[in-house]
Structure 1
Amino acid sequence: MPSKSTPPVVLLHDVDAVRADLVTALESADPSLRPGLEEALRIAERHGALTDEQRMGEWVRRTLRAADIDPAADHVRAVKALREAVPGLGLIAANGLVRAAGRN
């Protein structure tokens, strides 16, 4: 159970299912569609190789970019933005996420 110092976030990713569907689609794809499907498969494989920490860091950076916040310039606003994005996210957890995302 999350506490105020741990994020109440569960990462769900179905990259394996997406990858399997792309492989199946490639097997019967029209030659004109193959390059796009092959690129999609490369993207899925790249995302499948990410750790949960990397995924979380990417989410933090995307969330802060969307809010037009530079965490290095305004750490307090960055923490506030994450807490608004995830109701129930504790101050300590949000602070840790901003700091961790800045290291990656």
Structure 2
Amino acid sequence: MKGFAGFGRKQDCVLVIRDSEVVLEALREALGGAPAEERAGLERALAVVGGVAGADEGPLRAAWVRERLAGVGFAGDIGSVAAIKALRQAEPDLSLLAAVQLQRDAVAHPA
């Protein structure tokens, strides 16, 4: 959340920004002209990106929350008040409301 110039207060939302369609197209183009030794890697990359491209935003936000919690060493109950505190420690620019909303996504979409 850091680095968003022009915002004077803590933000109440987290946007999921994905350019997966752009990445898929670039990989398809690369695969089209790739030498044989690169094809297997590009095909695997296409499969991975293709699997994420259509993903729902809830699970993506839930994964983001888990990554941030792990980053501050939190290993407790994601549905707890301690998890919200740890999330806000990991991302100090999150408002309490945003942290609670993100926590709900993490609880609704278990890993």
Structure 2 counterparts to residues 13-28 of structure 1, below 5 A? 13-28=18-33
Cα distance, 1:27–1:73 mapped onto 2, change above 3 Å: closer
**Using the alignment, how far apart are the partners of 1:22 and 1:73 within structure 2?**
36
What amino acid is the match of 1:80? K
Please give the secondary structure, in 1, of the residue aligned with 2:37: coil
SS of the residue corresponding to residue 61 of structure 2 reads helix
Match of 1:66 among 65, 68, 71: 71
Once superposed, which parts of structure 1, at least 4 consecutive aligned residues long, lie more than 4 Å away?
none
The letter for the 1-side match of 2:14 is V
Number of equivalences:
101
Please give the secondary structure, in 2, of the residue aligned with 1:33. helix
**How has the CA–CA distance of structure 1 residues 71 and 49 changed in structure 2, closer, same or farther, with 3 Å as cutoff?**
farther
Question: Is contact 1:64-1:71 (8 Å) kept?
Answer: no
User: Alpha-carbon deviation of 1:62?
Assistant: 1.1
Q: Is the 8 A contact 2:78 2:107 kept in 1?
A: no
Structure 2: state its 5+ residue gaps: 1-9
Question: Which region of structure 1 is more displaced relative to structure 2, 92-101 or 41-50?
Answer: 92-101
Q: How does 1:1-104 map to 2 (within 5 A)?
A: 7-72=12-77, 75-104=80-109
Runs of 5+ unmatched residues, structure 1 = none
Deviations 1:43-81 (A, max 9, x none): 101111211111101101111122221241783332123
